[in-house]
Structure 1
Amino acid sequence: MKLAPLFRPMAGRRVLSRVAYAAVAAGLALSPLAASAQTQQAAPQQVPQSREQITLSYAPLVKRAAPAVVNIYSRRVVKQRASPFMEDPFFRQFFGDAFRGVPRERVESSLGSGVIVRPDGLIVTNDHVIKDADQITVVLADRREFPAKVMSADEKVDLAVLRIDTKGEKLPTLDLGDSDTIQVGDLVLAIGNPFGVGQTVTSGIVSALARTGVGVSDFNFFIQTDAAINPGNSGGALITMDGKLAGINSAIYSRSGGSVGIGFAIPADMVRSVVTAVESGGKLVRPWMGASGQPVTQELATNLGLPRPQGVLINQLNPKGPLEQAGVKVGDVVTAVNGHLVDDPESLRYRIALLPVGGTATLTLVRKGAETKLPVKLMGPPEDPPRDEATLQGRQPFAGTTVANINPALAEEVGYAGTSDGVIVLKVQPGTTAQALGFQPGDVVVKVNGQPITRVADLKRVVDQPQRRWDLAVRRGDQVLTLSVGG
């Protein structure tokens, strides 16, 4: 998972104070008329009717919600070579494989939190909490421990679903809330296990909604809160005042690693889509847009006749994609999905991702200054063309790479956002020619010795012919890198 430099996954407490307003200032007094007006406008006072009203405590809410929040401990064994130099082809040509060193094992542990969403032991946490774990242990609020099995792990949204065997016992749960009903300024509580000190509750408000510039997952659309969130809170609950799950705490903005009052949670609506897929017994397949676009700037808004910068300007459409088939055209500005406003490509992808394949989405768009609505039949990403995955060997620059044809389904799997045409590098084996030349997963082969590469078959045909010199062009992100290698 790629993280923006200042955004940290979470593997202090802020107390809301009551403010008394006094109408006393040095040397000043209210006039009788002003005092009379204030008396008339004052709200009627009531005697507190319960202990909770007297103490102004969140305790009843925490008492209901906290038992559904668990601690998660993950463990994995990492093997390392005794000498990193023995992985270098230059050294190996002198010393051979016999001197590569005996592998050493190192144990890595991770700490996080999780939320029980079903009484039979279904638990939601962050993907980065349990990523590559060999052993996962869930500790309930009553300190009982259970081994956990990974039911689903989705790096794209940084969510994972675990299951523990409760032997038929029903566990306390948190109901999933409706993320779209949350408003900026709402009070929320964050529950988790920061720094491994034990279950902790912090309070705050919803600071912002629809944050998309966080860079923690492929579907950037977060609830921002100032409730103190620290390492170890990952996977924990952000709850509303009615005791429902608003989101799964996922990341913080911090220069020091500690909370500075800017935390982010994955909305409950996204959590619901992942849990529903697990319960249905199938793999989560998100709808494919078959389109790409860009945010509308002030300059674009002026040129397009929009009253303000809003929506996503469509600049590319796949002829076989659902948007193209529904009648969307390049130059259209999509402003809403099923009535929910979108302001950038990330929020458009998020809104589409929440909907089921086979369903219909209503797009609100602006075309030549006029607003219109189009129904779009949602479909999964197709395997067209077939990916034709292959691992290349021999005396050629791509030896040690696993490559495949780019198609919409593969692009969704690996998070590739470029054009759906070409040959992409999926893996690079260590200690191979390809690794020594610096090839990376995600590179797209454009040309070899001047010949365009559009399919794996093209690449195989070219590299199977011995050459005295290889001239390569590879696209990495927005750049095309060139390289010349002796044969």
Structure 2
Amino acid sequence: MNQRPVRFRIGAALRHGLAAAGLILALAAPHAALAAATKGPDTVADTAALVMDAVVNISTSQTVAPSRSVPTPDLPPGSPFEEFFEEFFKRRQQQGDDQGPRRVSSLGSGFVIDPAGFIVTNNHVIADADEIFANFADGSKLKAEVIGRDTKIDLALLKVTPEAGKTLTSVKFGNSDMLRVGDWVMAIGNPFGLGGTLTVGVISARNRDINSGPYDNFLQTDAAINRGNSGGPLFNMDGDVIGINTAIISPSGGSIGIGFAVPSNTAVPIIAQLKEFGETRRGWIGVRIQQVTPEIAESLSLGRPRGALIGSVTDDGPAAKGGLKAGDVVVSFDGKEVKDMRALPIIVADTPVDKEVEVVVVRKGEEQKLKLTVGRLDEGDAPRAAEAGEKKPDAPAPTAGVKLLGVEITELTPELRTRFKIKDELNGVVVLSVEPGSVAAERGIAAGSVIAEVNQEATQTPKQVQDRIAALKKEGRRSALLMVSDPQGQVRFTALPIE
């Protein structure tokens, strides 16, 4: 039976045992020159000697609550298992089943970025710790304090006080954007408590989204990283830190050579904010976005799927004040291309708060340039895409309406507004029913939904919807883009095929 892959954070804080991942080089090229190019560097010893002392072992301890005893099952008198269970639980109690608070410890990695004592690691390495220590290669051990942490990127900044007269070895960050797939890298850390362990591999992929947070943008490497490597550095061949090792993918807990690191260009501004403010200060513009699918791209005459489609705009937010509207497709932000929906939250978050930026949007087939001033994200909220596919219960049996595109629609009357509990500010045509198994049903349109626009034109009556769909057919369009709202006002866009 095939096992479903399971994703693990690799720090000891998660306490998963991970086997070492081997690096296998396929040297099958027939030409000597190509074989020489693929065998990798002859040695990384010189580079390792320069940076090894900057890598530290992070050890933590914490007090955990006492365990609770399991009550003896209430069995009927004379049950064949009564005597067995009584003896079993009596023995457990004699062995001290109810223990008091106890201390547990864990191990991870980190690295010094400033001789003054600033150390970078993963947040999950030091999460919930009562005490944190940095153990150096020379055997010294210094107590560390948390300067700041970022749970969304999984980073933490620590500070130790160097011993008098001692200068700490530090490393500097490199430019992770310069990395190419196939470039050689080396990881140094503390796997299984074996401090100062070095492994070598290559960059396997870039810009990986592993669904660990809203700003996923990981480097993927086959350099062996294991339990205890979390928070350790990933170096390029110049000895610059280009990533912070954070996670692996594994079917059963053993490493299979698929590891992930936070890129240095993502980490550097976060670490700078933690150092200056003790917290992160991310950019925010106040929009709810969704993916541009091929059907939506065709409906909006984009040519190909690109950008981030705005589903709704927060009232009085930076985007609203800058003139952005629902239905706009953001293709550029502050001079940076927005390739897809996932790119926009990352770009916005990295933009300084209060900076005025230019935003390029596609609106009704034409590009427009707008300006807005970036606000600050409330860390209690994270940017999220429209939740397409969310199912809602059907409403009571509706009156007859017009059937098209797998839905039955009618005008939004006061009676229907009350029946479906539709907010007063919503306007359009209301969905009375949805054909089971239709594309509309698969994409989450349900009874009570309100269709406000068809291909970015407002609709108030079923005839307007029919006329707009007929016009799209005449234009040779294959799908119609609907702006759909649930009764509570959550807006999203979906494209339905025109039959």
What's the TM-score bracket when you normalise by the shorter of the two chains? Answer: 0.5 to 0.7
Shift of 1:14: 4.2
Q: Quote the Cα distance in structure 2 between the aligned partners of 1:54 and 1:80.
A: 52
The superposition leaves residues 372-406 of structure 1 with CA deviations (integer Å, 9 ceiling, x where unpaired) of: 4433311214xxxxxxxxxxxxxxxxxxxxxxxxx
Show structure 1 runs of 5+ residues with no match: 25-41, 46-52, 87-100, 382-408, 420-450, 453-477, 481-487
Shift of 1:319: 1.8
2:39 corresponds to 1:8 = no
The 1:363/1:182 distance shift into structure 2, 3 A limit, reads farther
Shift of 1:107: 2.4
Q: Which AA in structure 2 matches 1:68? A: A
2:334 touches 2:357 (CA, 8 Å); kept in 1? yes
Q: Which AA in structure 2 matches 1:80? A: P
Q: Quote the Cα distance in structure 2 between the aligned partners of 1:15 and 1:254.
A: 16
The 1:308/1:72 distance shift into structure 2, 3 A limit, reads same
Which residue number corresponds to residue 105 of structure 2? 109
Bigger relative contact order (CA 8 A; separation at least 6): 2
Which residue number corresponds to residue 210 of structure 1? 207
Q: Quote the Cα distance in structure 2 between the aligned partners of 1:6 and 1:17.
A: 25
Q: Quote the Cα distance in structure 2 between the aligned partners of 1:78 and 1:259.
A: 29
Q: Quote the Cα distance in structure 1 between the aligned partners of 2:170 and 2:250.
A: 31
Shift of 1:275: 2.1
1:153 touches 1:159 (CA, 8 Å); kept in 2? yes
1:14 touches 1:202 (CA, 8 Å); kept in 2? no
Which residue number corresponds to residue 195 of structure 2? 198
1:126 touches 1:250 (CA, 8 Å); kept in 2? yes
2:124 corresponds to 1:128 = yes
The 1:23/1:314 distance shift into structure 2, 3 A limit, reads closer
Shift of 1:249: 0.7
The 1:414/1:331 distance shift into structure 2, 3 A limit, reads closer
The superposition leaves residues 163-206 of structure 1 with CA deviations (integer Å, 9 ceiling, x where unpaired) of: 01104533122211223222222221122112222222222222
- 1:170 is aligned, of 148, 157, 167, to 167
Shift of 1:138: 0.7
The 1:337/1:233 distance shift into structure 2, 3 A limit, reads farther
Q: Which AA in structure 1 matches 2:332? A: A
2:149 touches 2:274 (CA, 8 Å); kept in 1? no
Shift of 1:282: 5.0
Q: Which AA in structure 2 matches 1:413? A: G
The superposition leaves residues 4-55 of structure 1 with CA deviations (integer Å, 9 ceiling, x where unpaired) of: 982211113545758475479xxxxxxxxxxxxxxxxx99x9xxxxxxx998
Q: Quote the Cα distance in structure 1 between the aligned partners of 2:47 and 2:26.
A: 19
- 1:318 is aligned, of 314, 318, 323, to 314
Alignment TM-score, normalising by the size of structure 2: 0.64
Shift of 1:128: 0.4
2:409 corresponds to 1:413 = no
1:221 touches 1:346 (CA, 8 Å); kept in 2? no
Shift of 1:321: 1.4
2:252 corresponds to 1:280 = no
The 1:107/1:370 distance shift into structure 2, 3 A limit, reads same
Q: Quote the Cα distance in structure 1 between the aligned partners of 2:177 and 2:231.
A: 20
1:13 touches 1:202 (CA, 8 Å); kept in 2? no
2:183 corresponds to 1:151 = no
1:70 touches 1:140 (CA, 8 Å); kept in 2? yes
The 1:175/1:364 distance shift into structure 2, 3 A limit, reads farther
The superposition leaves residues 238-278 of structure 1 with CA deviations (integer Å, 9 ceiling, x where unpaired) of: 11122211111111111122221211111212321222123
- Comparing 270-279 with 124-133, which one deviates more in the overlay? 270-279
Which residue number corresponds to residue 48 of structure 2? 62
User: SS at the partner of 2:295?
Assistant: helix
Q: Which AA in structure 2 matches 1:246? A: I
- 1:261 is aligned, of 234, 257, 260, to 257
Q: Which AA in structure 2 matches 1:179? A: S
- 1:357 is aligned, of 353, 365, 369, to 353
Which residue number corresponds to residue 244 of structure 1? 240
Q: Quote the Cα distance in structure 1 between the aligned partners of 2:211 and 2:371.
A: 30
After the TM superposition, which residues 362-381 of structure 1 pair with which residues of structure 2 at under 5 Å, given as runs?
362-381=358-377
1:184 touches 1:209 (CA, 8 Å); kept in 2? yes
Q: Quote the Cα distance in structure 1 between the aligned partners of 2:65 and 2:381.
A: 25
Shift of 1:344: 4.1
Give percent identity, aligned residues only. 39
Q: Which AA in structure 2 matches 1:288? A: W
> Following TM superposition, where does structure 1 have runs of at least 4 consecutive aligned residues deviating by more than 4 angstroms?
13-18, 20-24, 414-419
The 1:84/1:154 distance shift into structure 2, 3 A limit, reads farther
1:231 touches 1:258 (CA, 8 Å); kept in 2? no
1:225 touches 1:264 (CA, 8 Å); kept in 2? yes
Shift of 1:279: 3.0
The 1:117/1:291 distance shift into structure 2, 3 A limit, reads same
2:174 corresponds to 1:180 = no
Shift of 1:362: 3.4
The 1:55/1:329 distance shift into structure 2, 3 A limit, reads closer
- Comparing 140-149 with 194-203, which one deviates more in the overlay? 194-203
Alignment TM-score, normalising by the size of structure 1: 0.65
2:204 touches 2:220 (CA, 8 Å); kept in 1? yes
Q: Quote the Cα distance in structure 2 between the aligned partners of 1:151 and 1:75.
A: 18
The 1:192/1:227 distance shift into structure 2, 3 A limit, reads same
2:62 corresponds to 1:76 = yes
1:126 touches 1:158 (CA, 8 Å); kept in 2? yes
1:116 touches 1:122 (CA, 8 Å); kept in 2? yes
User: SS at the partner of 1:306?
Assistant: coil
2:5 touches 2:249 (CA, 8 Å); kept in 1? no
After the TM superposition, which residues 474-485 of structure 1 pair with which residues of structure 2 at under 5 Å, given as runs?
none
